[in-house]
Amino acid sequence: MIAGRGRQRIRPPRRGLHGDEVDFENTWGIIASAFREIHTKNASRLSYEELYRHAYRIVLKKKGEELYARVRQFEHEWLSNEVRGSVQALFSPNVLANTQSLGGTTANERRVAGEKFLKGLKQAWGDHQVCMSMLADVLMYMDRVYCQDNRRPSIYTAAMMLFRDDILKTPTSDAEGRVVLGLLTHVILDQIQMERDGDVIDKHLIKSCVYMLEGLHDDDKESEELRLYNVSFEREYLDTSREFYHQEAELLLRDSDAGAYCRHARRRIYEEEERCKSTLLESTSPRIQKVVEDELIKHRIHELVEMESGVRFMIDNERLDELNLIYDLNNRVDGNKSELTRAIQKRIVDMGTDANKAAIAASQSTAPAADAGGEKGKGPAPERNSNQQTVAAIKWVEDVLQLKDKFDKVWRESFNSDNLLQTALTRSFADFINSSAFPRSSEYISLFIDENMKKGIKGKTEMEIDNVLEKAIILLRYVQDKDLFERYYKKHLCRRLLMNKSISNEVEKQMISKMKIELGNNFTLKLEAMFKDMTISEELTSGFKHHVEGLGEKDPRRIELAINVLTSMTWPLETMGSSDDDGGKRPKCNFPIAIDRIRRGFEKYYNQKHSGRQLTWLANMGSADIKALFSKIPQKDGTFKERRHELNVSTYGMIILLLFNELPATQHLTFEEIQAQTNIPVNDLIRNLQSLAVAPKTRILLKEPMSKDVRPTDRFFFNEGFNAKFVKIKVGVVSSGNKVESDRERRETEKKNDDSRGFCIEAAVVRIMKQRKELAHQQLVMETLSQLAGQFKPEVNMIKKRIESLIEREYLERIEGVTIDSYRYLA
Amino acid sequence: MADADATADADANANLTEYVTLVSNDGFEFKILRSAAYLAGAIKNSLKPTYGFKEGSENRVDLPTINGVVLEKVCEYLYYNQKHAESKDVPDMEIPPELCLELLIAADYLDV
């Protein structure tokens, strides 16, 4: 384009700007005096363009370096001579005083003096900044051309460094080694301290000074880490804060309670955060937070938790807010919240152990009472004893549930439903429930369910029932020895089913399905089989009834039979007999002829349906309804009346009563005669006779001598004068209810349990080995443990023994010649 | 400080005129939009209200190193620049070759 206009010449500038020689000294004189005007805020008469032009000329004349040096020199002198003096004038004794000691002056005086100092400094800094930006703009051409080309810091930056060196880094007085910067730091810290103590300070003022420190750097390279703020102030700030909070924590721990401490700590943390926003720089925030957290929480959390008014106190008094505070604080410094967790766990275990002890104590404290009762007659005393044990069991379960509710509440409301803490809670509950000092938890829980099934759920809504069941499941979840529980539950369930004690079959099934969900199919398999047996038995009963009717023999005195056929593998029959002394073989009791006939009839009927099965009659489990006719005796109103009663008695009771049927009224039978005729086991006989002859409301027999105990020599009569208000009478057999086992029974149960555990272990070992063929001992034990974890926690010793026994029986063999003990599976 | 500056600027802006006067060495006066004038660093600095230089209070900048012809072209460029600041495919501005050198010097001087 330009070439296209070839005719036109490029004109040289008519009058070269650089044409004239520039008199540097003169020009500098003009500039310097103008700068002075600027510094004294008299710029209005100056022409920017003129000054700019002067500087421009000087730079053009390659005198940039000289100009730069002159300006620096000018500023240096200005700061040293004018500004420093005015800053030093601010060092009132009160400001200086606090550099040595805090005594002698009041906080208020110090605060005022400090503020004056800060204000003055801020003023000087502000002025310097404004002036220097004006200067820098005037010298823009120099910055643009000279500084960039020669890699010098801009004149503005250079002047800022001069301020640092000539003002901040000068000694406060000739005598002292302290520099203004140190004093500044100290004054700010002092002000902050005053704020911590509750004074109101000028945050804005301090923030300005902090900005100054932020804007200046310790070196000339302006690196981030070496900002004066970080180098001189922040470090000091963190140190003094650490010291301060260290002392404060000490004081607070000594003087106030844990709740107050937590509130205070939280407030301090919040305050420091605010302070960083309003007074200091936000970049300090995480650092000071850490200091506060370290001093107030991390180093103190242990003491805090252990305080008299610590976690324990809070739990006991339901101080949910304070627990929440502690949680929050602990969470800040320790994601695992180990201190809090530890304290909570300890408390749970303590409280749980208390509940355990209370239960044990409750079950034992009755023992002396029972002994006292035993003086009069030993009959009902053990019963009361065991009843009270049952009460203790129920109480224990309720205690534990209460504990669980309590801690759940704490967990929800104070611990923000923290997952880690939940596991800790669960572990602690499991710990004390499975504590070796308290072996009865399985039994107690089963009893608790039993009690509810029999009585507790009466008149409750479905929701409430569900609640109760859910609670039981919760506890069950904690129990380690699930097999032991299963054993007890089976036993209790068995009683409930056979004796029709259960209020609702529906609820029973609900419970089972809950357990199924919780513990798996295996666990409930046998329980379900029990229900199935019950259903089949009902069918059998009605089938047999039809069958008998079909036989056509109309017997008005025919006896109706309701039968329960139980699979001996599924039902814990051994626990139902009272009969350890029978040595396992159950003596067949002699049924009266009428009964025996129908028994044989049923056996025949059953054999037709299922051949090859053997029926064992468990008379001790049955009951009978008898219609009894009592002879006329005078009534209260003087009339004579026959009295009909329907007696509901146990099968044994029925057999005994039928004996008296054949006896003339005045005759008697001795205990031994009854025993001989019926062949009822002694224990059962005693209990049945007690209920028939001793219990006041159902005294159908009379006994001589009239004592609560039944002795072999006692004689029994039919009670002609029996009297009762109701037509239907239920003769309860003594201690047929479920109750806590006696120690002997316990040992028995445990032994049986151990036996079955042995089988479980063997089965597991064989399963594993069959799959793996060869395995090291340690690994085998581990796998066995993990396989059985759902049922119980076997002892390693027991596993070892089982392995030995398997080797003996040649299921396994030791692998010879290997360093680690290993086994091989033998097919 | 930054916010203090901002408010000060806002205060000063309130009584700022919309146009400012640029005066060449041969006495030509150019009244141009303040915003356009600000594109030149030196002019902007000279007018900065917070500094309180003479130019600032009079809204008038004497430029004794630049003649009217060149200053006219400078003003044209300032408007041209402002107008096209955010557009693409901008047409070239016509610059007479004979003015090139003087314009360059002026541009350097004014920090355009």
CA distance B41 to B47: 10
Strand-strand pairing, A701-704 and A728-730: unpaired
Question: Which has more pLDDT, A737 or A719?
Answer: A719
Confidence of residue B49 (pLDDT cuts 50, 70, 90): confident
Q: What is the 3-state secondary structure (H, E, C) of A30-42?
A: HHHHHHHHHHCCC
Which of B42, B53, B61 is nearest residue A43 as measured by Cβ atoms?
A: B53
Q: Are residues A119 and A35 in the same domain?
A: yes
pLDDT of the residue at A105: 61
Last residue of a domain, one of A335, A361, A381: A335
Confidence of residue A286 (pLDDT cuts 50, 70, 90): confident
Residue A241 reports pLDDT greater than 80? yes
Chain A residues with CB inside 8 Å of B99's CB?
11
Q: Quick one: which of A778, A779, A768 has its CA closest to A812?
A: A768
CA A24, distance to chain mean position in Å, is 84
- The answer to whether residue A750 is domain-embedded is yes
Share of chain B above pLDDT 70, in %: 87
Please provide residue A644's backbone torsions phi and psi, each rounded to the nearest 5 degrees: -105, 135
- The answer to whether residue B8 is domain-embedded is no
Q: Do A169 and A216 meet the contact criterion of CB atoms below 8 Å apart?
A: no
Q: Is A1 helix (H, G, I), strand (E, B) or coil?
A: coil
DSSP structural state of residue B99: G
Which of A11, A43, A49 is nearest residue B63 as measured by Cβ atoms?
A: A49
Query: A529 Cβ partners below 8 Å, 6+ apart?
Result: A567, A570
pLDDT of the residue at B8: 47
Q: Do A301 and A337 meet the contact criterion of CB atoms below 8 Å apart?
A: no
Spatial strand order of the sheet with A812-814 comes to: A774-776, A822-825, A812-814
Helix (H) or strand (E) holding A632: strand A623-634
Q: Are residues A699 and A768 in the same domain?
A: no
pLDDT of the residue at A354: 82
Q: What is the CATH number of the domain that holds A804?
A: 1.10.10.10
- The answer to whether residue B43 is domain-embedded is yes
The angle, 0 to 180 degrees and rounded to 10, between the axes of the packed helices A338-376 and A320-333 is 140
- The answer to whether residue A529 is domain-embedded is no
- The answer to whether residue B86 is domain-embedded is yes
Q: What is the mean pLDDT of residues A19-44?
A: 78
Q: Are residues A673 and A787 in the same domain?
A: no
Which of B46, B96, B99 is nearest residue A49 as measured by Cβ atoms?
A: B46
pLDDT of the residue at A220: 67
Q: Are residues A211 and A239 in the same domain?
A: no
Q: Are residues A180 and A257 in the same domain?
A: no
Residue B75 belongs to domain spanning: 16-110
Q: What is the CATH number of the domain that holds A257?
A: 1.20.1310
Query: Looking at this protein, which amino acid is placed at residue A753?
Result: N
- The answer to whether residue A812 is domain-embedded is yes
Tell me if B105 and A49 make a contact (CB, 8 A cut-off): no
Confidence of residue A380 (pLDDT cuts 50, 70, 90): very low
Helix (H) or strand (E) holding A223: none
Q: Are residues A92 and A123 in the same domain?
A: yes
Q: Are residues A228 and A177 in the same domain?
A: no
Count up the domains in chain A and report the number.
4
pLDDT of the residue at A582: 38
- The answer to whether residue A344 is domain-embedded is no
Chain A residues with CB inside 8 Å of B64's CB?
49, 53
What's the pLDDT tens digit per position in A101-130?
445 567 777 778 888 888 888 888 888 888
Window 90-109 of B: residues touching A by CB (8 A cutoff) are 96-102, 105, 109
Residue A207 belongs to domain spanning: 24-216
Q: Are residues A80 and A188 in the same domain?
A: yes
- The answer to whether residue B47 is domain-embedded is yes
Residue A132 reports pLDDT greater than 60? yes
Last residue of a domain, one of A216, A246, A278: A216
- The answer to whether residue B2 is domain-embedded is no
Q: What is the mean pLDDT of residues A766-783?
A: 84
Q: What is the CATH number of the domain that holds B40?
A: 3.30.710.10
Confidence of residue A490 (pLDDT cuts 50, 70, 90): confident
Q: Do A516 and A785 meet the contact criterion of CB atoms below 8 Å apart?
A: no
- The answer to whether residue A176 is domain-embedded is yes
What's the pLDDT tens digit per position in A445-479?
888 887 777 776 667 777 777 887 888 888 887 87
Residue A739 reports pLDDT greater than 80? no
- The answer to whether residue B94 is domain-embedded is yes
Q: Quick one: which of A713, A720, A632 has its CA closest to A671?
A: A713
Q: Are residues A127 and A181 in the same domain?
A: yes
- The answer to whether residue A55 is domain-embedded is yes
Q: What is the ipTM metric for this complex?
A: 0.84
Tell me if B1 and A126 make a contact (CB, 8 A cut-off): yes
What's the pLDDT tens digit per position in A700-713?
777 777 777 777 77
- The answer to whether residue A599 is domain-embedded is no
Q: Quick one: which of A701, A703, A724, A702 has its CA closest to A713?
A: A703
Q: What is the 3-state secondary structure (H, E, C) of A499-548?
A: CCCCCCHHHHHHHHHHHHHHHCHHHHHHHHHHHHHHHHHHHHHHHHHHHH
By residue count, chain A amounts to 827
Q: Are residues A39 and A162 in the same domain?
A: yes
- The answer to whether residue A305 is domain-embedded is yes
User: What are the structure tokens assigned to B13, written together?
Assistant: 């802006």
What's the pLDDT tens digit per position in B71-94?
998 898 888 888 887 777 777 888
Residue A737 reports pLDDT greater than 60? no
**Partners of A717 in beta bridges:** A668, A702
pLDDT of the residue at A456: 65
- The answer to whether residue B1 is domain-embedded is no
Q: Do A587 and A678 meet the contact criterion of CB atoms below 8 Å apart?
A: no
Q: Are residues A693 and A766 in the same domain?
A: no
pLDDT of the residue at A5: 47
- The answer to whether residue B3 is domain-embedded is no
b/e code A30-39 from CB counts within 10 Å (16+ = b): ebeebbeebb
Maximum average pLDDT range among A508-517, A522-531, B27-36: B27-36
CA distance A563 to A540: 7
Last residue of a domain, one of A335, A368, A383: A335
What's the pLDDT tens digit per position in B21-41?
889 888 889 999 888 888 888
Window 22-51 of A: residues touching B by CB (8 A cutoff) are 43-49
Which of A46, A130, A137 is nearest residue B54 as measured by Cβ atoms?
A: A46
CA distance A345 to A347: 5
CA distance A463 to A31: 94
Query: Among the listed ranges A330-334, A362-366, A535-539, which one has the minimum average pLDDT value?
Result: A362-366
Maximum average pLDDT range among A8-12, A162-166, A519-523, A686-690: A162-166
Q: What is the CATH number of the domain that holds A716?
A: 3.30.230.130
Give the start-end residues of each E strand in A635-786.
640-650, 668-670, 701-704, 715-718, 728-730, 774-776
Count up the domains in chain B and report the number.
1
pLDDT of the residue at A621: 67
Tell me if A13 and B105 make a contact (CB, 8 A cut-off): yes
Q: A141 and chain B: CB distance < 8 Å anywhere?
A: yes
Q: Quick one: which of A229, A236, A195 has its CA closest to A209?
A: A229
> Looking at beta carbons, which pairs linking A12-16 to residues 24 or more positions away fall under 8 Å?
A12/B101, A13/B101, A13/B102, A13/B105, A14/B67, A14/B102
CA distance A766 to A772: 10
Q: Are residues A698 and A644 in the same domain?
A: yes
Tell me if B97 and A141 make a contact (CB, 8 A cut-off): no
